[in-house]
């Protein structure tokens, strides 16, 4: 695995992809069908990314960084806030103005969260962990992300269709799928 595939690089690449989805949404008008599809994709990709962080980034940062638990508190709170916004965006009957407002708030929160991780969490993690350990964690995070990558399956869409058509909230369905408890492909 190359150095660019270490945990911080894998998660930073996710951040770039999330920024790209937000950029794409900026150029569409709610609630046109493509907009709704991109919102659902954004939610699924955010949850997939959050699970990788919660499974691999946060535990190692908590255990290995000075004041790790204190350092991670705001990130965990931000995940809860972002997930709550995603749940609100799942609704298909919100007025256009509310959808636009929620998406703007989500964009601000997500971008601030990603910027903070890249500037304040990834550098000390790289200092306190060896390259081999960061690469091993990067491989594990990439495996979790690949398991539920909605974009990679967009051409045949079985995962996205399964996740969207089951009747429960998209956030819960993606979390359940990535954790391996349901929705087999």
| Domain segments of the chain as ranges | 3-178
Look up the CATH architecture of domain 3-178.
Up-down Bundle (1.20)
Burial class (CB in 10 A: 0-12, 13-18, 19+), 166: middle
Q: How far is CA 53 from the centre of its chain?
A: 8
What is the structure's pLDDT at 158? 45
Q: Tell me how far apart the alpha carbons of residues 70 and 156 are, in angstroms, rounded to a whole number.
A: 43
| Average pLDDT over all residues of the chain | 82
CB of 90 closer than 8 Å to CB of 80: no
Calculated CA dihedral for residues 81, 85, 86, 88, nearest 10 degrees: 140
Q: Is the pLDDT of residue 147 over 90?
A: no
pLDDT digits (tens, 9 = 90+) for 91-125: 878 888 888 899 999 999 999 999 999 999 999 99
Q: What is the mean pLDDT of residues 148-165?
A: 47
pLDDT digits (tens, 9 = 90+) for 31-58: 677 888 888 889 989 988 998 999 999 9
Q: Tell me how far apart the alpha carbons of residues 177 and 163 are, in angstroms, rounded to a whole number.
A: 8
Q: Is the pLDDT of residue 60 over 90?
A: yes
What is the structure's pLDDT at 172? 66
More confident residue, 45 or 173: 45
| Phi (first) and psi of residue 171, to 5 degrees | -60, -50
Q: pLDDT category, 182, cuts 50, 70, 90?
A: very low
């Amino acid at each position: 695995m190359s150095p660019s595939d270490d945990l911080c690089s894998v998660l930073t690449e996710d951040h770039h992809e999330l920024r790209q989805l937000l950029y794409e949404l900026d150029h569409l008008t709610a609630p046109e069908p493509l907009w709704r599809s991109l919102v659902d994709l954004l939610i699924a990709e955010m949850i997939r990314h959050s699970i990788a962080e919660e499974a691999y980034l946060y535990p190692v940062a908590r255990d290995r960084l000075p004041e790790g638990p204190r350092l991670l508190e705001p990130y965990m709170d931000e995940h809860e806030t972002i997930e709550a916004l995603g749940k609100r965006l799942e609704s298909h009957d919100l007025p256009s103005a509310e959808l636009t407002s929620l998406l703007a708030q989500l964009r601000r929160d997500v971008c601030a969260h990603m910027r903070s991780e890249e500037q304040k969490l990834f550098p000390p993690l790289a200092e306190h962990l060896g390259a081999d350990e960061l690469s091993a964690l990067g491989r594990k995070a990439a495996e979790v992300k690949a398991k539920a990558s909605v974009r990679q399956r967009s051409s045949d869409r079985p995962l996205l269709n399964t996740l969207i058509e089951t009747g429960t909230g998209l956030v819960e369905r993606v979390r359940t799928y990535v954790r391996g408890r349901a929705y087999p492909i």
